[in-house]
Amino acid sequence: MELQINDKTYQITSDADTPLLWVIRDELGMTGTKYGCGLAQCGACSVLVDGEVLRSCVMPVGAMAGRKVSTIEAVSADPVGKQVVDAWVKHQVPQCGYCQSGQVMAATALLKQVAQPSDEQIAAAMVNLCRCGTYNAIKAAMHDLSGSKGAPAAAASTLPAAPSGPAGVNQTTVAAAAVAGIGAVAAIQWSRTQKAKAGKEQA
Ligand code: FES
Ligand code: FES
């Protein structure tokens, strides 16, 4: 099938039920879009489809026919995307960086729809997980972009306070790790299904 990504048309050979994420990463070699949970929970795999943010780990590539996909590789070519990247640099948002392509895509999608989003709109749109806890920096960058001063950084996070468990383990980290673990299993199962299918076809 034909797939339009970043204003280019690609002929792809993956099965129609292959998650868009794996076509982008494995078939087309664009590795900026990340795999986190595989369950549409963390947002690491976020891309834009016809301008709306979408979690590519659970979207069959067959559903993308005739639609325009944008990935982090081309985000700076978009004027709004470029502003987001500049704000991310200005506010030094990334820590390890793994979640940040998804965060930038989510921010770009919001700001393309609403130039000056309210705190509530920012909170509703910026729900991707970050294991490094860059939420306050993301919020500061978003307030900068939206022209609002927002709340002071120390009080800016709308995420519930992450309580420490008996052994001092951050419960948010535990939850994210659990989601990632389940997703890894899902990816392995998907991979096995594909191998089984390929085996049948050869037999
Ligand atoms: S939401 Fe797609 S990898 Fe987590
Ligand atoms: S910056 Fe490390 S996971 Fe978000």
Tell me if 166 is assigned to some domain.
no
Q: What are phi and psi of 168, to 5 degrees?
A: 80, 20
Tell me if 150 is assigned to some domain.
yes
> How many Å apart are CA 180 and CA 182, to the nearest integer?
6
Tell me if 194 is assigned to some domain.
no
Query: pLDDT 10s digit of each residue in the chain, 203 long?
Result: 999 999 999 999 999 999 999 999 999 999 999 999 999 999 999 999 999 999 999 999 999 999 999 999 999 999 999 999 999 999 999 999 999 999 999 999 999 999 999 999 999 999 999 999 999 999 999 999 998 755 444 333 444 333 333 333 343 443 444 444 445 545 555 555 565 555 544 43
Please indicate whether residue 130, judged by its CB atom, sits closer than 6 Å to ligand 2: yes
Q: What is the pLDDT of residues 98-110, one digit of tens each?
A: 999 999 999 999 9
Tokens 């026919």 belong to residue:
65
- Report the atom number in ligand 1 closest to the C-alpha of 35: 3
Please indicate whether residue 133, judged by its CB atom, sits closer than 6 Å to ligand 2: no
Coil, helix or strand for 169?
coil
Tell me if 107 is assigned to some domain.
yes
- Report the atom number in ligand 2 closest to the C-alpha of 103: 4
For residue 131, report the distance from its CA to the centre of ligand 2, in Å.
5
Tell me if 62 is assigned to some domain.
yes
Tell me if 101 is assigned to some domain.
yes
> What is the residue range of 125's domain?
2-156
Tell me if 185 is assigned to some domain.
no
Nearest alpha-carbon partner for 191 in 21, 46, 73, 29: 21
Per DSSP, helices labelled H in the chain are 20-22, 79-90, 100-113, 119-125, 135-146, 153-156, 171-202
At 158 the pLDDT is 42
Tell me if 197 is assigned to some domain.
no
- Report the atom number in ligand 2 closest to the C-alpha of 133: 4
Number of structural domains (the chain) is: 1
Encode burial over 44-62: b for 16+ CB neighbours within 10 A, e otherwise: bbbbbbeeebbbbbbbebe
CATH classification at residue 25 = 3.10.20.30
Q: pTM to 2 decimals?
A: 0.78
> How many Å apart are CA 134 and CA 157, to the nearest integer?
10
